[in-house]
Amino acid sequence: LLRLSSIMSGMVALRLPRGLWTAAVTVMLVVLGAPVAEGRDSPQDFVFQFKGECYFFNGTQRVRLLTRYIYNQEEYARFDSDMGEYRAVTPLGRPAADYWNSQKDVLEQTRAELDTVCKHNYQAEEGTTLQRRVQPTVTISPSKAEALNHHNLLVCAV
């Protein structure tokens, strides 16, 4: 199984054990070069997403890293730094979570991302964005009346 990791800038890096690079490149070339490889039951359009989320409480006093793996808008596996391991969210995610948890180097690196990604990026942004304190303003106004006399709506702009 392959593992993708995200950097806060939006870049995605592919991580493979060293011995698998040749095999992975060969498999990708075969799959990408052979239109027959696509199964007849494959969806026309599908989306794989990897989301790395850092949650900060009271600065960096408490930080939580959540990495989410999503296929077609359904999260199937996640790493939660509070748990310290990968967890399956759906049955589809069980093989991936079991595999990643069995790889001690993968677990160590993912656990370290709390510091190398979350805390690092917090410190990088602290001086420019996090120190900005702007008093929020709110404007509430009624929306235009509908011709069908629906209930009035209030529009809130922050």
Listed by start position, the domains of the chain span: 3-157
**Structural fold of domain 3-157:** 3.10.320
Of 115 and 8, more confident: 115
Instruction: List pLDDT tens digits, range 127-138.
Output: 887 777 777 788
Computed over every residue of the chain, the mean pLDDT equals 76
Nearest-10 Cα torsion for 94, 100, 101, 102: 110
**How many whole angstroms separate alpha carbon 101 and alpha carbon 114?**
17
Looking at residue 98, what is its pLDDT? 97
**How many whole angstroms separate alpha carbon 3 and alpha carbon 103?**
11
Mean pLDDT of 58-79: 93
Mean pLDDT of 130-156: 73
Looking at residue 34, what is its pLDDT? 44
Rg of the Cα atoms in the chain:
22
Q: How many CB atoms lie within 10 A of CB 97?
A: 19
- Contact assessment for residue 37 and residue 31, using Cβ atoms and an 8 Å cutoff: yes
Tell me the pLDDT band of 59, cut-offs 50, 70 and 90. Answer: confident
- Contact assessment for residue 87 and residue 99, using Cβ atoms and an 8 Å cutoff: no
Q: Structure pTM?
A: 0.56
Looking at residue 13, what is its pLDDT? 44
Looking at residue 19, what is its pLDDT? 47
